[in-house]
């Protein structure tokens, strides 16, 4: 692997390659965690809205509660 240093491409050391791979893996894990959290938030919102509808509230009443 190479990296750009002062407009020249130089070979990366094994330590740099290892760190780069670790950083990429960590980034992927964090991205998956963000996606999972966003999906959970969306599912929780939908579930909460459905529970309020089951109690007899209209969409307008639900919107008034959340705003």
The confidence score (pLDDT) of residue 66 equals 85
- Domain residues for 24? 2-66
DSSP run (H or E) holding 1: none
Q: Using CA atoms, how far apart are residues 52 and 64, in angstroms rounded to an integer?
A: 12
The 10s digit of each residue's pLDDT in 20-54 is 999 999 999 999 999 999 999 999 999 999 999 99
- Report CA 48 to chain centroid distance, whole Å: 22
For the whole model, what pTM was predicted?
Answer: 0.69
- The answer to whether 9 touches 2, Cβ cutoff 8 Å, is yes
Name the domain count of the chain.
Answer: 1
């Amino acid at each position: 692997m190479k990296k750009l240093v002062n407009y020249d491409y130089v070979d990366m050391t094994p330590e740099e390659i290892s760190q780069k791979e670790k950083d990429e893996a960590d980034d992927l894990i964090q991205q998956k965690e963000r996606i999972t959290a966003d999906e959970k938030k969306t599912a929780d919102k939908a579930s909460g809205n459905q529970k309020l509808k089951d109690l007899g509230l209209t969409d307008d009443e639900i919107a008034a509660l959340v705003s």
